[in-house]
Chains A and B, each alone.
Chain A
Amino acid sequence: MGAITRRSIVRGGAIGGIAAIYIALVGLYTKFADLELVGEQVTLGRVLIMAPGLVAAYTVTRPRIVAGERRSVPFGSGVAAASRTGVITGAVFAAAVWFADWFGVDRIREMFVSVSEVLIDFLTFGKGVPAGLPILVGACVVGGAIGGLARTAPANVRVPLSVGLIAVLLLGMLQRIVPIIFVELGFEADWLYSPSTGGLTWLGAAGIFAVAAGADVMWSRGGGRARERVRTSVREAPAARLGLLVAILGVLAILPLLLGTVISEVLGQVMVYVLLGIGLNIVVGYAGLLDLGYVAFFAFGAYSTAVLTGAFLNTTTGAAEPALSADLNFYIAVWLVALMAAGVGLLIGAPVLRLRGDYLAIVTLGLGEIVSIITASRWAQPLIGGPQGMRGVTKAEIGPLNFQDNPQHFYYLALAFVLLALFVSWRLAGSRVGRAWNAMREDEQVAEAMGVSTIKFKLLAFAMGGAIGSVGGALFAVNLGSLTPASFEIFVSITALAVVILGGLGSLPGVVVGALVLIGLPGLLREFEEYRLLIYGGSLVAIMVLRPQGLVPNIRRSRELHAEEVEQDAWGKDVVGEAEAVAAVLPGGALGVENEDLE
């Protein structure tokens, strides 16, 4: 039976402990110590104390492939092994805390700025060093046990349990947004979210847990018959599909009215990144050209919109007219900007497209950096303001709608452009052009042999991606009203890339989900702000290692990323239809199974 070796437990537990020490040193615990999720006791910081043990135990109790067969770990021994993993994680962590206290917190702080009395106090649950350490170990063991449960308990227990817990965690994190919706809808929110802590009340958490777990049980009852019925009706009845679409549009239309100005502002930022994601997805996801300099188009869009609509330069002596200026209406300027950006895409693309993938990535990175550096240089001062930037970008008013000072109005403007870009991108993907991109991405030489003009379609991808990205920039300029070069640095390219990759390369719903997770969540939880880039970087690595197809995968794309596993599966099962093999890999196949022989 899939017994777990002691070595595997010790290793997993130790890695968990090191991860916990890392989280402490990087300062996440102190940052999240006071973010209450449920009641006063369950803070995000405390959930984070349990997290390393949980993840370690979840990994240790994963199913193994023994002699070509997938073997799950049985429930009892799984939870036991998970708890022992938690013990080791806790022991390593507690030893580190004890060491820090013995060595002297102030001496460590000379190197690691996050280590402080506050941190030690938080990690020992306010009890001080020798007394609080058992509690710390206990928390890690509980985390480990939950991880083991989530992996090895029977499916009819662990799935509703996990769904319920995730729902509570998510709604706890959304504490700045859900109560507002409740109040706007005319409901009382105080029973759900406590006004004093901001987090969920215990009653509210229990309610959410019950509803989410119950919904999951209903959903999967009868062998998933309800699920099957919904799926076939959506697939087969056009009316149902249309209804779904109308419902989504309806929700999108009333969203800002429900959410108020603060959250609408976050949604506006999400929209801008959805646009960037859609554009970059054409280049990276469809055509398979890794572009690391996408910020060039974003900056081009923003600054050319500003110049074309008559914005002013910021100078040390006040506002000044730029060297080149026009006074167009925004709704004319934006198409002009998109067209010019497409031209810039062609111009950049023409000389570099002969390069192989990773060289192309570096060249685009270089071009993006050139744009950022020039934007911020004094050389660019007379045209676009250089280091001081520009202000007075058009408000793009239509009648009473003011897109600069009112985030709710801006949301609608952005939504219109996003829907347009989604439509264009969706139709392109299904057209002859989209098929040419697919062919080119999968095998450039074969595509060329089949008569696809790779140069033409690569240039087209660059032009389309550039045009959509520049519209993102134009909207950004309208939203803010003033531009500074600090907004046009490499992190824009990386963020857009992270949005596309997290959601799933080549997947449009993925872009939306990616932007919501990466831009929306940090926007709602201000505590995240400082750790944004850390989390982006970490998630890029994690996604590529664990689930390269992304959260909402594009089916064809994920098959390419898992080509090798599909072959291995086919070999293991003797005769398997290709489609079946793909289906076997798709739902988190990469996450769940690991071949022991390969370790």
Chain B
Amino acid sequence: MGSVIKERRSGAQLGRLERLPWRRIILIMLSVLIVSTVAIGAYKTISQQRYSADAWRDFIVLGLAQGSIYALIALGYTLVYGILRMINFAHGEVFMFGAFAAFFFSDAYEASGFLDSNPVASIAIMLVVAMLTSTGVALLLERVAYRPLRNAPRLVPLITAIGASLFLQNTARGFFGAQTKGFGVPTALEGTWTILGLELQRTQVLVFATVIVAVAALSLFIARTTTGKSMRAVAADSEIASLMGIHVDRMIVTTFAIGGLLAGVAAVLYSITFESVNFSMGFRPGIAAFTAAVLGGIGSISGAALGGITLGLLQSLGPALILTGYDVPSPFQLKDAFTFFVLVLVLIFRPGGLLGSGEAEKV
């Protein structure tokens, strides 16, 4: 069966190739250009020994930490996409509201001294508050902006999502003010721990541990529980699932709620890592996380995790490794351009993502 379908598909591809050889030519030229640019840049950087071995190790750890936060946000995109086939563009703002909620608690605790005397309790409270807030925003978003458009043409919910993203961002600006606020971190998390001979920032250790727990819990939830199975059934075919007695709307709401919970966790970790919150902080990480989801293969949970880590590494290593070789001034300014470049390349060359089928559905 499978092989027959594959053959027919490649037959169709052949037909398209004959009609449009120039497209293939452009793509090949593009890939040759990119590969040679990357190779030459990396070679130059390494041969000139711009960075020490320690610096490279720091880049890698930083990339892993950043990437694991992306992975958490990316899970929200992937779950929603899997069920609704819709890009929840405002997910970055769900994340941002969680960060603000955590900020108000950390701010108050810092003033009262509770943050330093009880770091574990205060971070646990921040996590709970951020998770609740993000979930609330995600559910509100689903109810107001997406549910009325369940059966609309495909681009309509996407446009709504962009509008909602802008609206939420500026709501936060009106509510909490436009200035960036410093996020207090407990003194217990300053400095480093040595684990397995590696000297790691304490905040990074916290990030790794939390992300591993969260992703494991989510995987278990999706794989083992009845709700998880129902969610997978809705993702596979919502109509049949509803015939099997699954409440589709409830599953969609559950999906948004889980996405919100994970975004809340990510928000606390992100704020602790970067020590600041701001109303526009959701946009770039949101896009980066979406890129991560696409990179890993949208709709797949392990894909989102893999994509997040890969993207984090690309972002921290890429500018240093490739751009420094070309003597680009301040290469880390272009870090986000790297994200988008990766996104564009993945969608052009492998729309299914690293773990996907290699071809996106077309209509």
Asked whether A381 is an interface residue with its Cβ less than 8 Å from the other chain, the reply is yes
A534 touching B171 by the CB < 8 A rule? yes
Interface residues of A in 64-92 (CB under 8 A from B): none
Is the beta-carbon distance between B175 and A536 smaller than 8 angstroms?
no
Interface size class of A (residues with CB under 8 A): 35 or more
Minimum CB–CB distance for B160 against chain A, Å: 4
**B50 contacts the other chain (Cβ, under 8 Å)?**
no
CB nearest neighbor in A for B165: A537
Q: Interface code A312-343, partner B: CB below 8 Å = 1, 0 otherwise?
A: 00000000000000000000000000000000
From A114, which residue of chain B is reached at the shortest CB distance?
A: B174
The distance in angstroms between the C-alpha atoms of A93 and B37, with both chains bound, is: 61
How many residues of chain B get a CB closer than 8 Å to chain A's CBs? 63
Q: Are A540 and B174 in contact (CB under 8 A)?
A: no
Which of A172-180, A362-370, A476-484 is the interface stretch? Answer: A362-370
- Cβ-defined contact, B351 with A534, below 8 A: no
Contact A369 B171, beta carbon cutoff 8 Å: no
A358 at the B interface (CB under 8 A) = yes
Alpha-carbon gap, A545 to B158, bound state (A): 12
Complexed CA–CA distance, A455 and B16 (Å): 11
B157 → chain A closest CB, angstroms: 8
- Are A111 and B20 CB-contacts (below 8 A) given A366-B343, A531-B170, A537-B164? no
Interface members, chain B 37-79 (any A CB < 8 Å):
none
- Of listed A22, A376, A379, A561, residue having the most chain B CB within 10 A: A379
The answer to whether A26 touches B337 (Cβ under 8 A) is no
The 8 A CB mask of A339-365 against B (1 = contact, 0 = none) is 000000000001110111111011101
Q: With CB as the reference atom, state the residue of chain B lying closest to A379.
A: B328
CB nearest to A353 among chain B residues: B23
Is A119 positioned at the interface, with any CB of B under 8 Å from its CB?
Answer: no
Residues of B within 8 A of A533 (CB): 166, 169-170
Q: Which residues of A contact B23 (CB under 8 A)?
A: 350-351, 354, 455
8 A Cβ contacts from B124-176 to A = 144-145, 148-149, 151-160, 162-171, 173-176
Which residues from A are CB-within-8-Å of B22? 350
State the CA gap A497–B162 with chains docked (Å).
Answer: 10
CA gap between A26 and B174 in the complex, in Å: 4
B362 CB, min distance to chain A CBs, angstroms: 6
Are A540 and B163 in contact, CB atoms less than 8 angstroms apart? yes
Please tell me if the beta carbons of B337 and A373 are within 8 angstroms of each other in the complex: yes
- A351 near B362 with CB under 8 A, answer no
Q: Taking chain A's interface residues, is the majority helix, strand, or loop, or is none over half, making it mixed? A: helix
Which residues A98-130 have CB closer than 8 A to chain B?
110-114
B334-A377 in contact (CB<8A): yes
Docked-complex contact B175 and A377, CB < 8 angstroms: no
Residues of A near B163 (CB, < 8 A) are 498, 536-541, 544
Is B160 a contact partner of A545 (Cβ separation < 8 A)?
yes
Asked if residues B155 and A290 are in contact (CB atoms below 8 Å), the reply is yes
State the Cβ distance, B180 to closest chain A Cβ, in Å: 14
Q: Does any Cβ of B come within 8 Å of A433's Cβ?
A: no
A244 to chain B, nearest CB (A): 33
Which residues in B have their C-beta under 8 angstroms from that of A22?
A: 171
Chain A, Cβ-Cβ closest to B166? A537
Which residues does chain B contribute within 8 Å of A365, judged by CB atoms?
287, 340
Q: Could you say which of A26, A356, A370, A539 contacts B340, with CB atoms under 8 Å apart?
A: A370
- Chain A CB within 8 A of B341 CB: yes
For A367, what are the chain B residues with a Cβ–Cβ distance below 8 Å? 340, 344
Q: Give Cα A379–Cα B328 distance, bound, in whole angstroms.
A: 6
A444 is an interface residue with CB less than 8 A from chain B: yes
Interface residues of A in 209-267 (CB under 8 A from B): none
CB of B182 within 8 A of chain A?
no
Q: Which residues of A contact B333 (CB under 8 A)?
A: 373, 376-379
* Complex: chain A residue closest to B163, CB-CB: A540
Q: How far is the CA of A110 from the CA of B110 in the complex (A)?
A: 14
List the interface of chain A (C-beta within 8 A of B): 22, 25-28, 110-114, 288, 290, 292, 350-352, 354-359, 361-363, 365-367, 369-370, 373-374, 376-379, 381, 444-445, 455, 490, 494, 497-498, 501, 531, 533-534, 536-541, 544-545, 548, 560-561, 564
Can you report 26 residue pairs joining A to B where beta carbons are below 8 Å apart?
A: A25-B174, A26-B171, A351-B30, A351-B348, A357-B155, A358-B154, A359-B351, A362-B290, A362-B347, A363-B348, A366-B340, A366-B341, A374-B337, A379-B328, A444-B363, A490-B283, A501-B159, A534-B171, A537-B169, A538-B167, A540-B160, A540-B162, A541-B144, A544-B163, A545-B145, A561-B152
